[in-house]
Amino acid sequence: MRGTGPSRSPPRLPELTFTVAVESTERLDRFLADQLGLSRTQAARLVAEQAVEVEGKPARASRLLSRGERVTVRFPEHEPPRTLRPAAIPLTILFEDDHLAVIDKPAGLVVHPAPGHWDDTLVNALVARGTTLSGGAEGRPGIVHRLDRDTSGLMVVAKTDLAHRRLGAAIAARRVRRTYAALAWGHLDPSPSVIDVPVARHPQDRKRMRVTPDGRAARTDAVVVARFGVADLLRLELHTGRTHQIRVHLEHAGHPVVGDPTYGGGGSRRISGAARRTAEQLERATPRQALHAAALAFRHPASGEALEFRSEWPPDLRAAFLALGAEELVARPDPLGYLLFYDRDG
């Protein structure tokens, strides 16, 4: 479930309002945790302090939300201000019109303001370039879906409330195709594989997710595009969009993303024998999680036109191919295209 973005508010205290955009039975505390980048405990504390209202009335943390309901959060005076400041961060815009923009996000860029990153996010960069965004200019305007800070690649942001609602509904109905490229430890068998296991926040470490029977439904489809000595290059398609979904699912499958500091499971230490040296070289050559949003396809929310975008394997992860002995891929401008990554039947 995603909010349509916060509206302007008249605060003495900082205030955000979200409109629930998709039908769900999600609890209020979980919705707030996802929307604000907080732990569920922090979100529940805001509810307990009567800082949260649903449709203008106080609500319990366990309150189940419905489409169209407005959730308002009034932050205590000690909270950081939520008014966005422009930040001169370069962005690569692949497509833009009056309704939306498609961005090739670099690794290291946080998508929206959150604790520790109030003024240096993608949203701040969009404000700096004068981009009109759905939901106004506070909080998380325009954000239809997210990428982790250290995941690079394609994102769509909404510039109007209509575009935001329709894109959010399309994602919920699985009419938006989001395809990722990843280097994963070991060899996935079989290929293709369907990883269909529920995901929820870890009860002890709220910054982590885990596979658990009482989590939210999550499905990832995985196909091996290229097989190297100690790792596979995978094409992954999301059917749901849970936090850290691909990383958690691949860890669960026993093939964590190379370079993942949270779900890597020891990385090269899983590889033994003569291949251990190659694995160690690969780990040193991978500066962050080797996960990239490589393709994005959807229908334009206003015109209905079919749109499709591609983003090649990023430069900061090219050295990983060298460590894997695939020198021919390092200098190519199109390693994914060369490997037929974008051929869904390949």
Which DSSP string corresponds to 75-94?
--TTSPP-B--------EEE
Q: What tokens were used for 93?
A: 């815009």
Q: Where are the beta strands (DSSP E) in the chain?
A: 15-19, 52-54, 57-58, 70-74, 92-96, 100-105, 152-158, 177-185, 193-196, 199-201, 209-211, 219-227, 231-238, 291-299, 306-310
Retrieve residue 98's tokens. Answer: 């009056």
| Strand, helix or coil for residue 217 | coil
Tell me, yes or no, if 148 is annotated catalytic: yes
From the candidates 34, 104, 148, 232, which is the catalytic residue?
148
CA 49 to chain centre: 30
Judged by DSSP in three states, 179 sits in strand
The one-character DSSP state at 315 is: G
Q: Is the peptide bond before 113 cis (omega within 30 degrees of 0)?
A: no
Q: How far apart are CA 225 and CA 191, in angstroms?
A: 9
Residues designated as active site = 148
